[in-house]
Amino acid sequence: MAVTSIIGAQWGDEGKGRIVDYLATDADVVIRYQGGDNAGHTVVNEYGKFALHIIPSGIFNKKATSIVGVGAVVNFDTMKQELDGIPKELHKNLLVDVRAHLIMPYHCLLDGAEESKRSDHDKIGTTKRGIGPCYSDKAARIGIRVGELLDPAGLKAHIQNILPKKNRELEYYGLKTFTVDELMDKCIAWKNMFGSHIADTLPIVRKAVDAKKKIVLEGQLGIMRDLDWGIYPYTTSSNPTSGGAANVSGIAPNAITEIIGVAKAYSTSVGGGPFTAELFDEDGKKLREIGAEFGATTGRPRRCGWLDAVALDYSSYLNGFTSIAVTKLDVLDSFEEIKVCEAYDLNGKITKYLPDTKGQEEAKPVFKTFKGWKTDTTGCRRFEDLPKEAQEYVKAIGEYAHCKVSYVSVGPERDQIIIL
C-alpha cells in the first residue's frame, strides 16, 4: 500500500480536503502534518458538509487513525468547537502528537496586533489564528508543546518562565496580559477535554509504514505561501511542500510513494502579496461567484485569476509531483474562453521562470487562450465523458505540471470525481 502526500499546488484552497476525504475512505492513517486552524478544508460526504480547520479530513473513516502531527500548531478551543460538529462515533481515532505546539491565547492576540501595525502594502492578511506567533515561539524554543499538558507541574514552571516575555510583548501592543493561573486553568481544561487523544504517534506511524498500510498525508495551504519558497513575507509560517511533509510526518522521504499536487483549474489567493494572474474584470467576478470563492475560515472573498502555469511549473519542480489532481473543472463550464498565464512579462522580458516576491509584484501575465466547452461536466465520471475541449484543457494542465493527471474533480461531492 502507498504513502500518499497531498500537497496544495498553488495558494491554498485548491480542494485538498475534498481529495483527502476521497482517498481516506480506505486509508489506515491520515496525518495532518503542519499548519493549524488557519486551514479550511471543505469535505462533503454522507455525514454532511464540513469545513475542517485542524481535524484531519480522514476523521470520517471510522477505521482510520487521524493524527494531528508533529509539525502542526493546535488551538484546543477551536478543535473542541470543530469536534462538537462531527458525529461522536467518529471521535475515538483522533490523536494529537505530543510534539505539536499549543496555540496559546496570547498568540492569537499578538497575530492580530502585529498585522494591524503593518502598512496596507505590507499586510499579510493572516487568518489571525495565532499561527505566526506560535511558530515564532517554536523556532525561538519557548513554545509549549501539546505533551506538556500531561505534566501540569512542569507546564506551570514553563509558563512561569516564559510569561514575563509574552506579557511584555502584549503590553507593547497595549493588549491584555495573562496570569500564570489563567493560562494554567485553560491548559487543565484542555487536558481534561483532550488528554486521552494526546500521544507520541511515531510508533503508530512507524508500525503502519512497516506493515505497508495506506497512509495519507494532508497538507495545509499551498506552496505559494510556503515559508521558504512562497511569496515571503506574505506566507504562512510552516512548510506546505512535499519536503515539509516528509520532515514532520515521521515518514522518511523515500518511503513516500506518491506526491499528488492538488491544482485548481484556475487560481485563487486569500490575503496579501503578489498574485500575477489575478483578474479584476467580469471573468474574475464570475469565477468567484460560480466557484463560491469565499474563505472557509474567514469568509473573505478570495482573489481569483486564471490558471498560472508559471507557478504550477515551479510548484511541480519543487514538490516533485508524481501526479496532480485537477479540481473545480466544472467552474469553467460556462466560459466561452479560458485563459492560462503561460509566461510573465518582466519589464519587457518574457520568462517562464517564477521570480521571487518582488519580481512577482512587477510581473504582468502573458495569457494563452483555450476554447471553452460550454457543457455541464458535473455528471462526468470518466475522462471520455468530458467534452473534447475540457479533455484538452486537462491534458494541457498535466503538461504545465510535467506529470500525469490522476484525478479530475467536477464537483464538491465525494463521488464527483474522475479517476484517470
Residues that bind ligand IMO (CB under 6 A): 8, 12-13, 38-41, 124-127, 129, 131-132, 220-221, 225, 234, 236-237, 270-272, 296
Given candidates 6, 9, 11, 13, which one binds Mg ion under the rule CB under 5 A?
A: 13
Residue 349 CB, nearest distance to Mg ion (Å)? 34
Q: Does 236 bind ligand GDP (CB under 6 A)?
A: no
Residue 261 CB, nearest distance to Mg ion (Å)? 15
Looking at the Cβ atoms of 43 and 124, the one nearer to ligand IMO is 124
| Residue of 188, 241, 275 lying closest to 6 (CA atoms) | 241
To the query of whether residue 41 is one of the catalytic residues in this protein, the response is yes
Residue 327 partner contact from Mg ion, ligand IMO, ligand GDP, none using kind-dependent CB cut-offs of 5 to 8 Å: ligand GDP
To the query of whether residue 13 is one of the catalytic residues in this protein, the response is yes
Looking at the Cβ atoms of 109 and 331, the one nearer to ligand GDP is 331
Q: Does 82 bind Mg ion (CB under 5 A)?
A: no
**C-alpha count within 13 angstroms, C-beta hemisphere, residue 15:** 33
Q: Is 218 helix (H, G, I), strand (E, B) or coil?
A: strand
Q: Site mask, ligand GDP, residues 292-311, x = CB under 6 A?
A: x---x---------------
Note whether 99 and 58 are within 8 A (CB): no
Count of Cβ atoms closer than 10 Å to residue 417 Cβ: 18
**Binding window for ligand GDP (CB under 6 A); candidates: 37-45, 117-125, 157-165, 395-403:** 37-45
In whole angstroms, what is the distance from residue 134 CA to residue 232 CA? 18
Paired residues of 345 in beta bridges: 350, 364
Angle at which helix 180-194 crosses helix 76-84, to 10 degrees, equals 40
**Residue of 37, 41, 226, 313 marked catalytic:** 41
In whole angstroms, what is the distance from residue 26 CA to residue 87 CA? 19
Helix H segments across 151-303? 152-172, 180-194, 202-210, 242-249, 282-290
Residue 9 CB, nearest distance to ligand IMO (Å)? 11
In whole angstroms, what is the distance from residue 87 CA to residue 68 CA? 18
Q: Does 15 bind ligand GDP (CB under 6 A)?
A: yes
Residue 411 CB, nearest distance to ligand GDP (Å)? 5
Cell numbers linked to 362: 512587477
Dihedral sign of CA atoms 394, 400, 405, 411 in order:
negative
Residue 221 CB, nearest distance to Mg ion (Å)? 8
Residues in contact with ligand GDP by CB under 6 A are 8, 12-18, 39-42, 44, 292, 296, 327-328, 330-331, 409-412
Catalytic residue list: 13, 41
